[in-house]
């Protein structure tokens, strides 16, 4: 058996200082294709100092000396899986670090840099958080960054060598699509370009739908589009950092105590992918009713526009230090399926039901912060009107008119089906 461990550092939400919050240890069985077991323990120094921030209120909920055994991701603790790369980062890291097909999630966590990590956690081999690990990125030239991301996604050599080097050091971002972060003053933007294998202009679509959601008064992450002769990218404002402060976050996957995505070669178990379950979990960790209603609104929005990529890692909560509460994060990665009109969502709309229908949408209304079914209907009706109005402005966001028309027709059809 081989044992490895890392310290986990947290940027304090109150004064921005870095503290060691705990330690993660992984035991791997030799020669057993990476089979492993892992655990996280809050640091005695963290407990002795009397800090009260739990880094995952669902899976690491009490500030205890006892180690928490990780039950998913072959032994990687959920909140650490949240700050490790998904397929985009893994694809590049595997080549760069010569990782085997059996490389553990922990290997990817370790070889992706801390600079762009999601949320307020970083990892390190030293008990003392190292400032070089936690330096903020500078704002590079956006068009060159986009071009370099496009080259990387096509596995082509670097054109902007310095940018490529930096991108290769910051591969911790989640998600499947090429992306990186650029800084503009105090604000950090996630940059997601359209790539050559896309069958539609995904960047434009994402921006257009986020704007439509905003017009309907949903809480969407702010976006804008960079477009020049050869490149398009959507820029999404990061909600997990501002200036030098990083904010604690937790993915929907961790909240729902489910794995996403499943290990290579294994089928996703979607039994816990559920909006009402997410709403109940959010209530249990103290999120206000307002956020549960917002979640219902997002479910309805996804159903209307046909965003069936609403998987558990496309939802999150973020710690609000002034309220001392976990709050639903702004919506992100909201993109309609342009190949076919989906009949189901990734998440259950009500217990056991993934289908986009009136019965599925309203069956579990009571978990979403409404006081009656009538109130849920009223909210849905009002939201649909706002979304329809918002859809009249799709072309104004730069979306091509055939895409805009398809989305408008879909919203009309779906609204009729749902209400
Ligand atoms: N506005 C944001 N602020 C902070 N973090 C974000 C934001 N948008 C996305 N993220 C984080 O980055 C990850 C990847 O982003 P996103 O989901 O947009 O990428 P993607 O490659 O399109 O994902 P997918 O694989 O779901 O298609 C998310 O899972 C989330 O952890
Ligand atoms: Mg995503």
pLDDT higher than threshold 60 for residue 31:
yes
* Cα distance between residue 72 and residue 40, in whole Å: 13
Question: How many whole angstroms from 333 Cα to the centroid of ligand 2?
Answer: 5
Is any atom of ligand 1 closer than 6 Å to the C-beta of 190?
A: yes
Q: Quote the pLDDT of residue 138.
A: 67
CA distances in angstroms from 151 to 95, 112, 145, 147, 297, listed in the order given: 15, 20, 10, 6, 37
Domains of the chain and any CATH numbers: 2-134 (no CATH), 142-241 (3.30.200.120), 250-418 (1.10.1070.20)
CA distances in angstroms from 273 to 231, 263, 333, 352, listed in the order given: 35, 16, 17, 10
Q: Quote the pLDDT of residue 196.
A: 92
Report the mean per-residue pLDDT for the chain: 95
Q: Quote the pLDDT of residue 135.
A: 57
The distance between the two most distant Cα atoms of the chain, rounded to a whole number of Å, is: 61
The tens digit of pLDDT for each residue in 338-363 reads 999 999 999 999 999 999 999 999 99
* Spacing of C-alpha 142 from chain mean position: 22
* Cα distance between residue 77 and residue 227, in whole Å: 39
- Pull the structure tokens for residue 120: 């307020």
Instruction: Give 182's strand partners.
Output: 189
**11 — phi, psi (to 5°)?**
-85, 120
Neighbour-count burial for 177-186, b at 16+ CB within 10 Å, e otherwise: bbbbbbbeee
Calculate mean pLDDT across residues 52-75.
96
pLDDT higher than threshold 80 for residue 29:
yes
Calculate mean pLDDT across residues 100-113.
93
Q: Any residues with CB less than 8 A from the CB of 179 and at least 6 apart, and which?
A: 88, 149, 173, 190, 191, 192
Q: Who wins on pLDDT, 365 or 33?
A: 365
pLDDT higher than threshold 80 for residue 286:
yes
Calculate mean pLDDT across residues 285-294.
98
Q: Of ligand 1's atoms, which has the minimum distance to the CA of residue 335?
A: 22
The tens digit of pLDDT for each residue in 220-241 reads 999 999 999 989 999 999 999 9
Question: How many whole angstroms from 289 Cα to the centroid of ligand 1?
Answer: 25
* Cα distance between residue 240 and residue 295, in whole Å: 19
pLDDT higher than threshold 70 for residue 328:
yes
Calculate mean pLDDT across residues 44-72.
97
Q: Tell me what percent of the residues of the chain surpass a pLDDT of 90.
A: 91
Ligand 2 (single-atom ion) residues, CB below 5 Å:
175, 314, 333
**134 — phi, psi (to 5°)?**
-120, 20
44 pLDDT band (50/70/90 cuts)? very high
CA distances in angstroms from 11 to 55, 98, 149, listed in the order given: 11, 31, 29
The tens digit of pLDDT for each residue in 161-214 reads 999 999 999 999 999 999 999 999 999 999 999 999 999 999 999 999 999 999
Instruction: Give 40's strand partners.
Output: 24, 68
Residues 90, 61 contacting (CB under 8 angstroms):
no
Q: Quote the pLDDT of residue 131.
A: 62
Is any atom of ligand 1 closer than 6 Å to the C-beta of 173?
A: yes
Q: Quote the pLDDT of residue 304.
A: 98
Residues in the chain: 419
Q: Quote the pLDDT of residue 264.
A: 72
Is any atom of ligand 1 closer than 6 Å to the C-beta of 415?
A: no
Q: Any residues with CB less than 8 A from the CB of 341 and at least 6 apart, and which?
A: 306, 410, 413
**282 — phi, psi (to 5°)?**
-65, -40
3-state secondary structure of 344: strand
Apex 313 CA angle, 309 and 314, nearest 5: 50
Q: Quote the pLDDT of residue 140.
A: 67
* Cα distance between residue 285 and residue 318, in whole Å: 12
**341 — phi, psi (to 5°)?**
-80, 115
Question: How many whole angstroms from 32 Cα to the centroid of ligand 1?
Answer: 33
Sign of CA dihedral 114, 119, 122, 127: positive
* Cα distance between residue 372 and residue 33, in whole Å: 52
- Ligand found nearest the CA of 238: 1
137 pLDDT band (50/70/90 cuts)? low
CA distances in angstroms from 212 to 67, 119, 397, listed in the order given: 45, 27, 9
Calculate mean pLDDT across residues 390-402.
97
With the most atoms of ligand 1 within 8 angstroms of its CB, the residue from 190, 308, 345 to mutate is 190
């Amino acid at each position: 058996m081989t044992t490895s461990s890392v310290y986990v550092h947290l940027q304090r939400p109150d004064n921005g200082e870095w503290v060691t919050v705990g330690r993660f240890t992984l035991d791997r069985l030799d020669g057993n294709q990476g089979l492993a077991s892992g655990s996280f323990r809050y640091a005695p120094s963290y407990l002795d100092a009397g800090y009260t921030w739990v880094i995952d209120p669902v899976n690491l909920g009490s500030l205890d000396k006892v180690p928490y055994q990780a039950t998913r991701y072959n032994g990687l603790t959920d909140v650490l899986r949240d700050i490790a790369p998904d397929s985009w980062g893994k694809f590049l890291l595997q080549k760069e670090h010569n990782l085997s097909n059996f490389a553990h999630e922990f290997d990817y966590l370790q070889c992706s840099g801390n600079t762009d990590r999601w949320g307020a956690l970083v990892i390190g081999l030293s008990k003392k958080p190292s400032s070089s690990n936690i330096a903020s990125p500078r704002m590079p030239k956006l068009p060159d960054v986009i071009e370099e991301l496009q080259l990387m996604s096509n596995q082509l050599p670097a054109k902007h060598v310095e940018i490529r080097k930096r991108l290769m050091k910051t591969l911790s971002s989640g998600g499947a699509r090429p992306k990186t972060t650029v800084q503009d003053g105090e604000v950090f933007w996630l940059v997601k370009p359209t790539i050559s294998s896309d069958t539609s202009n995904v960047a434009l679509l994402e921006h257009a739908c986020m704007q439509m959601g905003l017009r309907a008064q949903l809480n969407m992450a702010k976006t804008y589009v960079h477009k020049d002769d050869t490149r398009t990218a959507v820029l999404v404002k990061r909600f997990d950092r501002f200036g030098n402060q990083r904010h604690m976050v937790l993915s929907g996957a961790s909240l729902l105590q489910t794995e996403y995505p499943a290990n290579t070669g294994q089928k996703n178990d979607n039994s816990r992918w559920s909006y009402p379950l997410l709403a109940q979990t959010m209530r249990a960790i103290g999120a206000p009713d307002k956020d549960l209603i917002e979640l219902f609104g997002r479910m309805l929005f996804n159903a209307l526009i046909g965003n069936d990529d609403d998987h558990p890692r496309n939802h999150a909560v973020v710690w609000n230090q002034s309220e001392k509460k976990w709050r639903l994060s702004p919506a992100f990665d909201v993109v309609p399926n342009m190949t076919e009109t989906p009949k189901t969502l990734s998440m259950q709309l009500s217990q056991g039901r993934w289908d986009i229908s009136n019965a599925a949408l309203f069956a579990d209304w009571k978990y979403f912060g409404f006081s009656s079914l009538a109130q849920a209907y009223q909210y849905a009706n009002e939201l649909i009107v706002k979304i329809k109005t918002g859809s009249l402005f799709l072309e104004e966001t730069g979306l091509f008119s055939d895409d805009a028309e398809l989305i408008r027709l879909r919203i009309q059809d779906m609204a009729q089906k749902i209400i």
